[in-house]
Amino acid sequence: MKDVFKRFFFGKREKYWWMNVLVPLVSILLAFIVGAIFIKITGRSPVVAYKLLFGASGLFPGPYWKSHFSEMLLSSSMYIATGLGFAIAAKGGLFNIGAEGHFIVGGITAAYLGYAKPFAGLPKFIHLPLIIVGVILAGGIWGAIAGYLKAKRGIHEVITTIMLNWIALYLIEAWLVIGPMKAAVETGISGTPYISLSAKLPKILPPTRLNISIIIILAVTFLIWYLFYKTTFGYEIRTMGHTLIFGMEAPKAAGINVERKTIQTMFIAGAVAALGGAFMVLGVLFQYPPIFEGGYGFDGIAVALIGQNEPLGVVLAGILIGALRTGATTVQLAHIPKTFPSIIEGFAVGFIALQMLIRYWLMKLVRGRKKSVQTEMGGGAK
């Protein structure tokens, strides 16, 4: 059992593989403790706040659980998508800030294919897969642009992905949504027209609006895991990630086409993040609104960091963040600002950034102080 779990979970054959699970958990716990102190400082009750937060998060059964649960999974599917977008690139040694851009490119593509005439009349079982394929291509190409610039021109992906985010935003919000894709004035709708019935993601838990997005993203997560840990392709990408600091000389020497792999990695990252935008448009908004202001792309970075860039970790972190966000609006009933859960998220990321320190402490706790911790962690050379 242990062996199976360990391999499925991280695919790593480290001695202290469970450290990779424990460190994020401890970080999250610390974040909640610091969050409690913050609430206390502002003169409110952390008990009430956390009770409301988790009561409405959808994680635990309780009143109105069904609707909270469905809202949580709806949010989570989008956070998992953008989190994977970051994590996939990170596996290949790329720091992808572009998930926000991929997300909105996915959203606008889904909206267009959802309402545009030749597609809108198709039956659902053709129309919906067609939209998903379109979204994957659009998001993937948007991601691959940054990959191409990195591979062929050596421009750092942090710069290009940030710039491409803005290009996507203004192409969409300052041109498409108020220009060619604008809904007719008579309809009184701001933004693009609404998508046709056949483009909507089927609901799976009526009367809530939970739809199949969570199933799609779980399947995608499994595919990504399989790709990384069961195929040569994934192995090559991981090799690039591991040797990043040495300019990827080792994979090059081993005959890996690093340039091509970089472009492919960014394509996959962009495609997965774009799915999140499609979920938003096809399952929640049913149109591309004049102002999107999502932020899912940037939260995806937090999700990936908390999830340690591992597919399963991203899923769990995505569910955690989705739950926090779902409970977030309810803490307002206790007169706690809606941004409070973001503070917890921020602290969790902060503690993850300190993970070497936390790891060091935990190791000390576990092993006592007799042996050198450095060697235990496999980091020190003897």
Partner 1 sequence: MRIKKLLVLLLVVVMVGVVFVGCAPKEEEEPPTPSIKIGLVTDVGGRGDRSFNDSALRGLETWAGKVKYVKGGGYEPITDAEFDASIPEDLKDKNIHSLGVSAMVLESKDKKDYIPNIATLVEQEKCDLVIGVGFMLAGAIGESAVKYPDTKFMLIDAPPVDEEGNMIDPPNVVGYLFNEHECGFLVGAVAAYATESGKVGYIGGMPIPPVLRYEAGYLAGLKTIDPSIKIIGQYTGSFTEPALGKSAAESQISQGCDVLFHAAGATGNGMFQSICERGAPYWGIGVDVDMGLDPNLCPARTLTSSLKHVDYATYLAIKNIVDETFHSGLIIMTLKDGGVGYAPDHVADALTQDQIDKVEHLREMMIDGVFEVPTDPPDVDNWTPPTDF
Tokens encoding 377: 């962690």
Q: Rule CB under 8 A: is residue 334 a binding residue for partner 1?
A: yes
Give the burial class of 3: count Cβ atoms within 10 A of its Cβ; 0-12 exposed, 13-18 middle, 19 or more buried.
exposed
Taking the C-alpha atoms of residue 236 and residue 233, their distance in angstroms, rounded to an integer, is 5
Residue type, 338: K
Shortest reach from residue 252's CB to partner 1, in Å: 43
Nearer Cβ to partner 1, position 161 or 287? 287
Tell me which of 28, 71, 237, 349 binds partner 1, using CB under 8 A. Answer: 71
Phi, psi of 211 (to 5 degrees): -130, -175
Q: Rule CB under 8 A: is residue 338 a binding residue for partner 1?
A: yes
- How many residues sit close enough to partner 1 to count as binding (CB under 8 A)? 59
Nearer Cβ to partner 1, position 306 or 336? 336
Taking the C-alpha atoms of residue 173 and residue 194, their distance in angstroms, rounded to an integer, is 16
Q: Rule CB under 8 A: is residue 309 a binding residue for partner 1?
A: no
**Contact mark string toward partner 1, 75..104, x via CB under 8 A:** x-----------------------------
In the window 254-293, what residues touch partner 1 (CB under 8 A)?
A: 280, 284-287, 289-293
Is the separation of the CB atoms in 366 and 26 below 8 Å? no
Non-local (6+) Cβ contacts of 291 within 8 A are: 173
Q: Rule CB under 8 A: is residue 329 a binding residue for partner 1?
A: yes
In the window 155-174, what residues touch partner 1 (CB under 8 A)?
A: 170, 173-174
| Among the listed residues 4, 31, 20, 54, the one whose alpha carbon sits nearest the alpha carbon of residue 344 | 31
Taking the C-alpha atoms of residue 144 and residue 98, their distance in angstroms, rounded to an integer, is 11
Non-local (6+) Cβ contacts of 309 within 8 A are: 86, 87, 90, 91
Distance from CA of residue 206 to its chain's centroid? Answer: 26
**Contact mark string toward partner 1, 28..57, x via CB under 8 A:** -----x--xx--x-x-xxxxx-------x-
Shortest reach from residue 353's CB to partner 1, in Å: 20
Is the separation of the CB atoms in 164 and 97 below 8 Å? no
Shortest reach from residue 239's CB to partner 1, in Å: 38
Q: Rule CB under 8 A: is residue 189 a binding residue for partner 1?
A: yes
Q: Rule CB under 8 A: is residue 64 a binding residue for partner 1?
A: yes
Nearer Cβ to partner 1, position 194 or 351? 194
207: preceding bond cis by omega (within 30 degrees): yes
Q: Which stretch binds partner 1 (CB under 8 A): 85-93, 228-236, 333-341, 372-380?
A: 333-341
Nearer Cβ to partner 1, position 74 or 272? 74
Nearer Cβ to partner 1, position 276 or 311? 276
Shortest reach from residue 74's CB to partner 1, in Å: 7
Q: Rule CB under 8 A: is residue 330 a binding residue for partner 1?
A: yes
Is the separation of the CB atoms in 213 and 279 below 8 Å? yes
Tell me which of 325, 344, 348, 362 binds partner 1, using CB under 8 A. Answer: 325
Taking the C-alpha atoms of residue 359 and residue 147, their distance in angstroms, rounded to an integer, is 33
> Kindly report the CA angle at 307 between 17 and 31, in degrees rounded to 5?
100
Non-local (6+) Cβ contacts of 73 within 8 A are: 58, 210, 214, 319, 322
Q: Footprint of partner 1 on this chain (CB under 8 A)?
A: 33, 36-37, 40, 42, 44-48, 56, 63-64, 67-68, 71, 74-75, 170, 173-174, 178, 183, 185, 187-190, 193-194, 197, 200, 207, 209, 280, 284-287, 289-295, 325-326, 328-330, 332-339
